[in-house]
Every structure is written in structure tokens, then in C-alpha cells.
A and B are shown apart, each in its own frame.
Chain A
């Protein structure tokens, strides 16, 4: 199956610093990448949808200036949490979407990045 990697898998940072998370599709070209956040014992929440070469589309309530998304190629998207605060501590997961049969786009998920802001 299609493989998506994320780096780093875990990061601890001080309040006020910025953290960059990379999401790569390793063996396919992803037309679209999605960024999710998950708090303990809760469902995944979509933060933004990213298409290669264009600006990301953010979900309501997600600050685009705080969560910067860059999708420079069909295999790489990055999420930068700027001026991180303790309330940004969460599990961040990306997924990459590939065109499937019949036009349905299956999503393949990265292993996630656990961010802890002190």
C-alpha cells in the first residue's frame, strides 16, 4: 500500500518557538494532503487541505497565520506551528490522497507527530 511518512515523530519545544512538521508521500504522488489534529480521547479534526502549488484551505476556527502550510511538491507538505503555546500541544497527523479507481480518492495516513509545548 501507499506509504506516508512524518517527521519528527515527537517534538518538545519551549513556548514561543516555531515547530515544522514534514509529511511525505514515499511511493506515490499525492494530489492533495490533509492536516489533522487530535486531542486525547477525541476524534481527528481536520485543520486544512493542501494542494500542491496552491494556498491551503483552512477549516473554520483554524488560524492560518499560526499554522503555516506549504505544499511545495507532489510528495511533500509541511506544517509550521508558529509561536507555539502549551494549548497547541497535540497529536498532528497528515494524510495524502491519491486518485483511486472510479475517481474516489483514498487517503493514506502518516504515523503522526506528537507535539508538546512547555
Chain B
């Protein structure tokens, strides 16, 4: 069993839809990153959170430390949101453990 499980693995949505990506982890963590990787390969850190909820534009991330679960929500999705979204809990020495990623494609 992977230490970090993401669901779904692949997601196709229509423009404007509300999207949720889930992450469950079994490792002990101090915080959790949500990352976005575009087809070109570059990675953007969307959020780092250790409790509660954070919002940035159309993106919302939540975490429940007791349940070892985090979610990333995208409101009013757009084709430019198409990317791979990666959940990465942060453990000791700031090391990240990476989920397998969720490949999102938003269609017009």
C-alpha cells in the first residue's frame, strides 16, 4: 500500500465544473503540499497547509490531520487548470512524500 493515495487518478471535467481531488496518507506529517505540474514539467506549489483550510483564487485546500486526509477543490474549472495535481505530505527534515498524482483535463 502506498503511503500517499490520491483519487481519482484521472479526471475529465467540463469547463465550469467544481472539482475535488482527494488525498489520504499514512505517514506522520508536519504539513502537506499541493503541487501542480503542467505538461512541460514545471512544478508550482499551490498550497502548504498544516491545519484547516486555505483559499487562493479558485483553489481551496483543506486538511484533517486526525483523519490523515486532505482535499483540493477547484471552483469554476477552466481548460488552463488541466495539469497533474500532486499531494505531498511533509515529514521529518522537510522531506516530501509524493502521491501518484491526479491527471486533470478540463474540456471546453
* A contact residues vs B (CB 8 Å cutoff): 1, 32, 34, 38, 43-44, 46, 49, 91, 93, 95, 97, 100, 102, 104-112, 114
Complex CA gap A28/B99 in Å reads 27
Asked whether, in the complex, the Cβ of B43 is within 8 Å of the Cβ of A109, the reply is yes
Given A105-B90, A106-B33: 4 more A-B contacts, CB < 8 Å: A93-B43, A106-B48, A111-B42, A112-B41
Main secondary structure on chain B at its contact with chain A?
mixed
Known interface pairs A32-B94, A43-B100, A43-B101; A107-B45 also in contact (CB < 8 Å): yes
Interface size on B, residues (CB 8 A): 22
* B60 contacts A by Cβ under 8 Å: no
* B contact residues vs A (CB 8 Å cutoff): 30-31, 33, 35, 40-45, 48, 50, 86, 90, 93-96, 98-101
